């Protein structure tokens, strides 16, 4: 226990109790004894450890913490870990600039490497960056992200997250890499992972393939170009936004029911400028009402081109390289000298420059039939990129995801039906994603700071890789880096030699690691007892925008590996929006960092703001007028002041001492609050629980305390004991009910009369002492009427009253008669007349107030 301060304050409580909770192990997972029974496990989102946290993290992580604290107080052994997602492109770029290095996977590891610079003030030029091995590069990434992780942990402790920081993992750590590689090798062994040469969405800035889940459409300016092909009976006119892809043209396509082109399908036309003969084909995806109704198929302009190319088994004529520029060599189909000269004008140019050149070539050839018509249309981007994606042909690794496996797709849809989505309307986002999948999951990335794909390839007698002869490590070798480690049965001297091997240089998509957070947190490989105790997890909290990525990919990996759901429930948070209802994001420049807000309002106030929003509902944040945070701070301060006042009364929180009707009524009303709040928390509706508890708390402070304090100080020993006992019993229950929302203020108040943490206490149960809970409401209404009458008379609330009349229904007056002494004492009233008013809908009213001064 701690002494009650003269002036209770919120300042300093965050640091004080963060240290106390860590020292006492309040949030520590109790252990695996007892197995899965009695465990509540949370698959906590690992924030990206690059840059800084934003207020959205505080918002959504508080939602999770509310449930963790509630379940802990319900007697569950809560497994609440934290992870740091520290692999990804932002980290790579930051490390390159910070240390002046770049990764070259072909280089050997240097255990004594020292970076040339550390903490540069500006970006270093690529030409000045020192090439280092991937292992050296990863070590520098780990060194830099540790600083971010420490800052993140400090913020989370300040917010009051009841995370067990002893159960922390890093997505690039040895354990995480071993688990990620083992899961991939299991996919490979079961036939779920495969490699293929196929059209891939490609980000020319990051030089990496992009998965379907990482796409976003952005409205971009463009133009329709009206172009004439030479047909057997004259011009065949098409409209295209990508005229620069004419050298990659492999066919024209029309809808099979379009009578305009029925006689043309099956024949050939000749492309303008390049003079290549291409077939006219039919496909149901052609749109008769778009443009002229006939379109050119190029390899590749968009995803529809890929579908046409695959379905119609068309040739490939690639013209755009990995750098986003036109390749130097023209497709072999361009045979004419004029066509090859025209292509030479495009070679080496960016897409935009090549488009301008192509327009001029078409205009000179008389094949551009009209000036370009400006439009705005959606264009595919990598969600982290700033240039439109291209489609290039690459060899990549894939994992089956149900897009082409009807039986797997149905299993995934069935799993989504079994999963408890909170709120339930978020389920449709998962179902729409699964139903709309068009290709398997591309899991390989052309990056460096990530989990290496754990395979090597045998080389033939000429030193060419045999991609069908994949070499894999032994389980005991994991984690491995094929760029520096050696496959079983080989030596380092055989690397790159004919008859030897070559290591895979690609790494896994970040979601290929993050999809394994249950395994990473739950000790899948390192701690079988822990794994048995926590899996499947009870809760997956996350944002709605990554249902298609994190939720889906985790569920997929669990279904493939274990044939079961990875968690019982998925709690989906809404977005933080600015006062204009725009989603806060770094790209929009309207993100608010939490440090200033936490310092200005205090953690309890910020948590109150977060707790006031239901799952799946967007919350507005106006930093200039943070109404909810002010309400939260006012609540936290009131908790401290009320606790100080109540603990000043003599007596114990002994239920046997509660005998007076008003005290019994208050506790009966509190019992009802406990039942409703418990049900709300059990339904994952923390906002509803707060809506139930907070009004009662204010009624308790403003009405009940005022009604009984005179009796609590009075000479009637039994009446005083009843008042004090009821107040202290209610205080204990209310501190517990509010503990998940405002953990610091409730802990401070609790420690004034207890030695252990309120967060280690059991959730309150109804006392069941009897009493009519309506009585508290009637008495409160009457007290409000007395206050209003004094205010209307412009008298002080302390002014003594000689007499007044209370009118209301007979049943209500019978109840008021039971508490008349408390009312008289609270209102300083000498005499009260009760007047029955049984008019339908009649309310309690106070009238005929005669003040003592007037009576004299």
CA 376 to chain centre: 31
* Strand pairing report for 456-459 and 801-808: unpaired
Q: b vs e for 88-99, b when ≥16 Cβ sit within 10 Å of the residue's Cβ?
A: bbebbebbbbbb
| φ and ψ of 271, to 5 deg | -70, 145
How far is 500 from 486, CA to CA, in rounded Å? 11
Q: b vs e for 289-317, b when ≥16 Cβ sit within 10 Å of the residue's Cβ?
A: eeeebbbbbbbbbbbbbbbbbeeeebeeb
CA 471 to chain centre: 37
SS in 3 state form for 375-388? Answer: EEEEEEEECCCCCE
Among the listed residues 236, 517, 241, 406, the one whose alpha carbon sits nearest the alpha carbon of residue 251: 236
> For residue 48, what is the DSSP state?
B
Strand partners, 268: 279
Q: Is the peptide bond before 273 cis (omega within 30 degrees of 0)?
A: no
Among the listed residues 486, 537, 478, 558, the one whose alpha carbon sits nearest the alpha carbon of residue 180: 478
**Tokens describing residue 604:** 């309890």
Among the listed residues 233, 252, 250, the one whose alpha carbon sits nearest the alpha carbon of residue 293: 252
H helices of 570-611, where? 594-601, 603-611
Contact 753, 1 (CB under 8 A): yes
How far is 816 from 95, CA to CA, in rounded Å? 73
How far is 341 from 214, CA to CA, in rounded Å? 38
How far is 63 from 80, CA to CA, in rounded Å? 13
Whole-angstrom CA distances from 284 to 288, 289, 300, 763 are 10, 13, 19, 62
First to last CA, the chain: 52
How far is 522 from 563, CA to CA, in rounded Å? 17
Among the listed residues 630, 638, 691, the one whose alpha carbon sits nearest the alpha carbon of residue 621: 630
> For residue 550, what is the DSSP state?
I
**Tokens describing residue 170:** 């890093």
The three-class DSSP label of residue 132 is strand
**Tokens describing residue 833:** 């007349």
Among the listed residues 739, 795, 731, the one whose alpha carbon sits nearest the alpha carbon of residue 762: 739
Confirm or deny that 586 is annotated as ligand binding: yes
> For residue 543, what is the DSSP state?
E
How far is 828 from 835, CA to CA, in rounded Å? 20
How far is 88 from 85, CA to CA, in rounded Å? 8
Q: b vs e for 224-258, b when ≥16 Cβ sit within 10 Å of the residue's Cβ?
A: bbbbbbebeeeebbbbbbbbbbbbbbbbbbbbeeb
The single residue listed with the structure tokens 């990508």 is 242
How far is 316 from 325, CA to CA, in rounded Å? 17
H helices of 419-516, where? 427-435, 510-514
Q: Is the peptide bond before 300 cis (omega within 30 degrees of 0)?
A: yes
> For residue 111, what is the DSSP state?
T
Task: Extract the annotated binding site for ATP.
Answer: 586
Task: Extract the annotated binding site.
Answer: 586
């Amino acid at each position: 226990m701690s002494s009650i301060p003269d002036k209770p304050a919120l300042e300093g409580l965050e640091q004080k109790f963060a240290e106390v909770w860590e020292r006492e192990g309040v949030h520590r997972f109790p252990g695996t004894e007892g197995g899965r029974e009695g465990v509540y496990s949370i698959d906590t989102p690992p924030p990206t450890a690059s840059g800084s946290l934003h207020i959205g993290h505080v918002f959504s992580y508080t939602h999770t913490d509310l449930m963790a604290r509630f379940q802990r107080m319900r007697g569950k052994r809560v497994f609440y870990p934290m992870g740091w997602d520290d692999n990804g492109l932002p980290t790579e770029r930051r490390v390159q600039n910070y240390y002046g290095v770049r990764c070259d996977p072909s280089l050997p590891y240097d255990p004594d490497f020292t970076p040339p610079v550390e903490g540069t003030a500006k970006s270093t030029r690529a030409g000045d960056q020192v090439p280092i091995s991937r292992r050296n590069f990863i070590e520098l990434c780990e060194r830099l992200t540790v600083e971010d992780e420490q800052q993140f942990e400090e913020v989370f402790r300040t917010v009051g997250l009841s995370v067990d920081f002893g159960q922390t993992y890093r997505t690039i750590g040895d354990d995480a890499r071993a688990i990620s590689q083992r899961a991939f090798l299991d996919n490979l062994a079961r036939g779920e992972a495969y490699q293929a040469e196929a059209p891939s969405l490609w980000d020319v800035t990051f030089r990496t393939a992009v998965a379907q889940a990482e796409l976003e459409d952005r409205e971009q300016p463009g133009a329709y170009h009206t172009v004439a092909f030479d047909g057997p009976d004259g011009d065949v006119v098409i409209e295209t936004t990508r005229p620069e892809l004419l050298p990659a043209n492999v066919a024209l396509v029309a809808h099979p029911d379009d009578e305009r082109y029925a006689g043309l399908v099956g024949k050939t036309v000749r492309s303008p400028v390049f003079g290549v003969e291409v077939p006219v084909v039919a496909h149901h995806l052609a749109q008769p009402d778009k443009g002229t109704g006939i379109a050119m198929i190029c390899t590749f302009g968009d995803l529809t081109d890929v579908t046409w190319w695959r379905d119609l088994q068309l040739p490939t004529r690639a013209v755009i390289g990995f750098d986003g520029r036109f390749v130097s060599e023209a497709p072999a189909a361009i045979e004419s000298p004029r066509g090859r000269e025209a292509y030479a004008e495009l070679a080496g140019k960016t897409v935009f420059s090549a488009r301008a050149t192509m327009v001029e070539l078409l205009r000179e050839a008389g094949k551009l039939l009209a000036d370009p018509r400006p439009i705005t249309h959606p264009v595919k981007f990598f969600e982290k990129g700033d240039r439109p994606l291209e489609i290039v042909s690459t060899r990549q690794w894939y994992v089956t995801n149900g897009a082409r496996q009807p039986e797997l797709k149905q299993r995934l849809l069935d799993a989504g039906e079994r999963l408890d989505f909170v709120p339930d309307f978020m389920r449709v986002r998962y179902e729409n994603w699964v139903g709309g999948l068009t290709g398997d999951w591309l899991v390989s990335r052309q990056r460096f700071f990530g989990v290496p794909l754990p395979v090597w390839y045998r080389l033939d007698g000429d030193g060419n890789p045999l991609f069908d002869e994949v070499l894999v490590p032994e389980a005991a070798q994991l984690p491995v880096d094929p760029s520096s480690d050696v496959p079983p049965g080989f030596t380092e001297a055989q690397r790159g030699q004919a008859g030897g091997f070559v290591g895979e240089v690609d790494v896994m998509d970040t979601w290929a690691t993050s999809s394994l957070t249950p395994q990473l947190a739950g000790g899948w490989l390192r701690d079988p007892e822990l794994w048995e105790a926590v899996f499947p997890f009870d809760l997956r909290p996350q944002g709605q925008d990554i249902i298609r990525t994190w939720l889906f990919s985790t569920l997929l990996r669990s279904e493939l590996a274990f044939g079961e759901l990875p968690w019982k429930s998925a709690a989906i948070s809404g977005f933080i929006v600015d006062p204009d209802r725009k989603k806060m994001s770094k790209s929009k420049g309207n993100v608010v960092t939490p440090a200033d807000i936490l310092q200005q309002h205090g953690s309890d106030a910020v948590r109150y703001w977060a707790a006031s929003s239901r799952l799946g509902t967007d919350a507005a944040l106006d930093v200039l007028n943070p109404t909810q945070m002010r309400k939260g701070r006012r609540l936290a301060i009131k908790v401290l002041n009320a606790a100080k006042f109540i603990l000043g009364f003599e007596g114990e929180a002994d239920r046997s001492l509660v005998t007076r009707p008003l005290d019994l009524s208050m506790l009966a009303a509190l019992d009802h609050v406990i039942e409703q709040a418990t049900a709300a928390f059990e339904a994952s509706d923390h906002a509803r629980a707060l809506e139930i508890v907070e009004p009662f708390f204010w009624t308790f402070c403003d009405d009940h305390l005022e009604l009984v304090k005179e009796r609590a100080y009075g000479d009637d020993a039994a009446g005083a004991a009843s008042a004090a006992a009821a107040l202290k019993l209610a205080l204990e229950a209310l501190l517990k009910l509010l503990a998940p929302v405002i953990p610091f203020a409730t802990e401070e108040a609790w420690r004034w009369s207890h030695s252990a943490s309120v967060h280690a206490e059991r959730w309150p149960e109804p006392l069941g002492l009897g009493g009519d809970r309506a009585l508290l409401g009637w008495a409160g209404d009457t007290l409000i009427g007395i206050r209003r009458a004094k205010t209307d008379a412009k008298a002080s609330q302390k002014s003594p009253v000689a007499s007044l009349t209370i009118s209301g229904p007979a049943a209500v007056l019978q109840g008021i008669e039971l508490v008349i002494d408390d009312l008289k004492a609270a209102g300083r009233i000498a005499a009260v007349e009760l007047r029955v008013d049984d008019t339908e809908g009649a309310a309690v009213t106070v009238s005929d107030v005669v003040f003592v001064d007037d009576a004299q």
